Amino acid sequence: MTSQTPTKSNLTALLASTSGGNATLVRCPTDMLQRLRNLHEAEWITLFTPVVPHPPSTALERNMDPFEPLGRALARQVRHVPYRLDYGMTETHVDFIPSAGAILIVICTTENIMSHNSRAFEQQRKFARDIQKKVEDKSGRSITPMILLLCTNGANKQTHQDGLSEFPALLTCTDYNTLALSNAVRVLFDN
């Protein structure tokens, strides 16, 4: 019996498809992506993340926010502002919008989240829509780059992705562990 030695490319693909979260930039207008990638050093990225339990595959400390590694991976100045699914957007969230050079909103609908809250997708989409309304100018154009990061897997993956079609910029990954979030940043910033 002959066994094939894994090459770097198929080993990399295997790692990306399992623990790496399979990050994909689904869509993003070129001007928005360029603006994001070329933020001035004084500009902040405002990171809105849902309050959710740690992913099953995590090695994070229990008192650490599961999206803190995402903020650290951005290698930019970040204001990390969590949001509760049951409260949605509050005045606190609105207060962070004017000073944002870019906004990254995480929507997390992995199977472990959806099994505890069947409305999690709708609640997070509503939060993103509310933020989008605050970011747009009177003509309906976004005045600040706003990117959604959808962490999803399982049977509803495509449904959740399709349910965010109104947003011009969408990045997806299949997990929200540290490696998956780092890979999402790598894809977004083309590193």
The string of pLDDT tens digits covering residues 126-177 is 999 999 999 886 555 667 899 999 999 989 999 999 999 999 999 999 999 9
More confidently predicted of 35 and 3: 35
pTM of the complete model: 0.86
Does the pLDDT of residue 92 top 90, yes or no?
A: yes
pLDDT in tens, 23-61: 999 999 999 999 999 999 899 999 999 999 888 877 778
Q: Which residue segments constitute the domains of the chain, with CATH numbers given?
A: 21-189 (3.40.50.1700)
Residue with tokens 């083309």: 190
pLDDT, greater one: 55 or 119: 119
Q: What does the pLDDT read at residue 61?
A: 80
Query: Residue 64: its pLDDT value, please?
Result: 85
pLDDT of 113 > 90? The answer is yes
Per-residue DSSP letter, 5: P
The rounded percent of the chain whose pLDDT value lies above 90 is: 71
SS3 per-residue string spanning 15-65: HHHCCCCCCEEEECCHHHHHHHHCCCCCCEEEEEEECCCCCCCCCCCCCCC
Point out the least confidently predicted range of 12-16, 49-53, 91-95.
12-16
User: Does pLDDT of 15 surpass 70?
Assistant: no
Residue 137 pLDDT:
62
pLDDT of residue 14: 41
Candidates 22, 70, 55; CA nearest to 173 is 22
- C-alpha 185/C-alpha 182 separation (Å) is 5
